[in-house]
Amino acid sequence: MRGLLKGAGAASVAFALVLTGCSTAADGGEGAPAELVIGSSDPVPNLVPGRQSNAFGLVMSVFSPLTFLDAEGELSYVAAESVESDDQITWTITLRDGWTFHDGTPVTAQDYVDSWNTVAYAPNAFENSGQLAVIAGYSDLNPAEGEPATDELSGLAVVDDLTFSVTLNQADSQFPVELSQAQTAFYPMPPSAFDDLDAYGKQPIGNGPFAVTTGWTEGEPIVAERYQDYAGDEPTVNKITWVPYSDRLTAYTDALAGNVDIVRLPANRMKQVADDFADDHIYSFSGPAISYLSIPYWDARFDDVRVRQAISMAIDRDAINEALFGNLNSPATAWTPSIMPGNPDGICGKYCEYDPQAAAALLAEAGGFEGQLTIHFPGGAGHDDLFNAVANYLRQNLGVDAIARPSVGWAEFSEDRNNEVLDGPFFARWGALYPSQQSTLRAVFTSAPGCTNCGGAIIPEVEQALNDADASGSEDGEAYAEAQRYIADQFPIVPLFEESYNFVTSDKVAELTASAAGEPLFTDVILAED
């Protein structure tokens, strides 16, 4: 029996090789076995796609999304054959035929519906459940008080094995984009997952190019190997190992020693990386993320728009980018990063340009600033140098008593922010999961769930402009740029930097490609020849 199974396995491997014409290192003949070692420095409590929040690279290798956005913002279909709608409210998703999960079961429309219901059901308390909030019935599964009466999203309906329909709460032209790779709550789970979701979270079974062969154990590497029956595009590597590190700096140090192939560049090494690694081993991808210096709208000292503009003009973004980020980020010129389609670059105008004299004059015109100006930011996350630099600029250029104060961690910072008790400007950042201005603007500047209190007082015109843009269905982002005009007028918060997602690689990696989410595609890494 055992011999028989073994034979069958070998045959299927051989079959897959013939089928794909793959003759890389898998046959063991050419030295390097096409393996990658990736340093992951974030804790991995759970790999259920509806729960993970810091294992994007891994989950994106083990699962395949319905739609895919490449670095140029071009949308293509992966697991879905089509995503269509006439009214932008009811969408029909048709799956490609012949796809299987790593346990061999076929991927069906029912699997998607079951998975999404599980993610959205409040008592499961799945971290990524908010990504499904656009679907009709989400609020029934997430009542403000008590247990929900139903465990099924009313907006989902299975049409046949490969087709299902999704009804949204309101028209949303961005829905196909929202289904793209980084919104992992939309990934499907096989029927076996629902028996024991905790076990599944340690060793997920996906529909992607890689199958997890060594699941998660505290402090141990996770290993995934090529899934031979994968129906999508062939990956370029055969085996990926994620080695856990306590922080990015340690991972980076180990990459210097040559022990790991791909690691994320820690913020405090941006300046130094050019000395440590060869140019072609450093990758800097524009990310859909932007950082702000948020203004506490509950503090009357900041009521005058000129005070906020003066603060913005007193900060030399170029000097900070040069001194602290090694020019890897870019100074922001709008309230969303320029990677977003149709982004109104430069809408911030002269107020995002460094002009200390004008800043001081503007502040004086507004009546000056009373008392201490304390900048708050979450401690332990590597933001210290940035906000100390900002405080120095405000102190030296505006003559205010500015200091930067870190909190213990996120717990303290987010509570103080949510409860409006921060007594000065504070750190805010939004890393969008899909590159559309809609994602960032909604999260930061409206009452929709997102970065609470980050966008200053809510401007009604912005919310209205966003709703109009959602319904208009234009794909160039022009309509969303309209909303930023109101933001530029009111100047509620100060945009700081568009972020890049940076990585360093070993000699083994010849080319790293990014997806639109700024995250590299581990499945498409081109390995060096030797």
Partner 1 sequence: MARYISRRLLELVIVFFGVTFVIYCAVFLLPGDPIAALGGDRPLPESVQQQLRLRYGLDLPIWQQYLDYLGGLARGDFGTTFAGQSVGEQMASRWPTTIKLALTAWTLTVLISIALGLAAGLRRGSALDRGVLLGTIVAESVPIFVMGVMAQYLIGITLGWAPIAGVSDGWPRAYLLPALIIALYGLAGVSRLMRGSVIDTMRSDFVRTLRAKGMSQGNVVGLHVMRNAAAPVVNVLAIQLGSLLGGTVVVEAIFNINGVGQLLYKAIQDQEGTLVVGVATTLVFIFLVTNVLVDILSSVLDPRIRHD
Partner 2 sequence: MTEPATVALDGALDRATTRGLWATLRNRVQFWVSVVLLALLAIIAAVPGPLAGIFGEGDPRACDLPASNRPPVSGHLFGTDVQGCDVLANVLFGTRTSLFIGLATTAICLVVAVALGTLAGYAGGWVDALIARTADVVLGFPFLLGAIIVLNTAPNRSPLLLAAVLAFFSWPTFARLIRSSVKEVREREFVQASHVLGLSQPRVVLTHVLPNSLAPTLAIAATMVGGVIGAEATLTFLGVGLVPPSISWGVQLSTAQSYFQSAPHTVVFPSIFLTVTVISLIMLGDALRDALDPRGRT
For partner 1, the binding residues (CB under 8 A) are: 43, 45-46, 53-54, 122-127, 129-130, 133, 142-144, 198, 201, 217-219, 243-247, 250-251, 253-254, 256-257, 259, 379-380, 407-416, 418, 428-431, 449-452
- The secondary structure of residue 39, as a DSSP letter, is E
Distance of alpha carbon 513 from alpha carbon 269, whole angstroms: 21
- 385 near partner 2 (CB under 8 A): yes
- 299 near partner 2 (CB under 8 A): no
Q: Which two tokens stand for residue 494?
A: 């100060």
Pick 192 or 246: Cβ nearer partner 1: 246
- The secondary structure of residue 191, as a DSSP letter, is G
- The secondary structure of residue 97, as a DSSP letter, is T
Pick 167 or 374: Cβ nearer partner 2: 374
Distance of alpha carbon 397 from alpha carbon 233, whole angstroms: 55
User: Residue 245's binding partner, choosing from partner 2, partner 1, none, with beta-carbon cut-off 5 to 8 A by kind?
Assistant: partner 1
Pick 301 or 405: Cβ nearer partner 2: 405
- The secondary structure of residue 53, as a DSSP letter, is S
Pick 253 or 333: Cβ nearer partner 1: 253
User: Residue 270's binding partner, choosing from partner 1, partner 2, none, with beta-carbon cut-off 5 to 8 A by kind?
Assistant: none
- Give the HSE-up count for residue 66: Cα atoms under 13 Å, Cβ half-sphere: 28
Scan residues 269-288 and list those touching partner 2 (CB under 8 A): 269, 271-272, 275-276
User: Residue 53's binding partner, choosing from partner 1, partner 2, none, with beta-carbon cut-off 5 to 8 A by kind?
Assistant: partner 1
Cβ atoms of 257 and 489 closer than 8 Å: no
Query: Binding string to partner 2 for residues 232 to 261, with x set by CB under 8 A, is what?
Result: -----------------x------------
Query: Which are the contacts of 2, defined by CB distance < 8 A and separation ≥ 6?
Result: none
User: Residue 129's binding partner, choosing from partner 2, partner 1, none, with beta-carbon cut-off 5 to 8 A by kind?
Assistant: partner 1
- Residues 89, 361, 389, 448: which binds partner 2 (CB under 8 A)? 389
Pick 398 or 454: Cβ nearer partner 1: 454
Pick 335 or 497: Cβ nearer partner 2: 497
Question: What are the two backbone dihedrals, phi and then psi, of residue 487, each rounded to the nearest 5 degrees?
Answer: -65, -45
C-beta of 380: minimal distance to partner 1 in Å? 5
- 427 near partner 2 (CB under 8 A): no
Cβ atoms of 407 and 379 closer than 8 Å: yes
Distance of alpha carbon 406 from alpha carbon 337, whole angstroms: 26
Contact region for partner 2 (CB under 8 A) — 26-34, 80-88, 163-171, 263-271?
263-271
Taking each helix axis as running N to C, give the angle between helix 356-365 and helix 384-398, from 0 to 180 degrees, rounded to the nearest 10. Answer: 70
CA distances from 234 to 47, 210, 509 (A): 23, 10, 18
- 393 near partner 2 (CB under 8 A): yes
Determine the straight-line distance between the first and last CA of the chain, rounded to whole angstroms: 40
- Give the HSE-up count for residue 364: Cα atoms under 13 Å, Cβ half-sphere: 9
Interface residues toward partner 2, by CB under 8 A: 249, 268-269, 271-272, 275-276, 316, 319-320, 322-324, 379-380, 384-385, 388-389, 391-393, 395-396, 403-408, 412
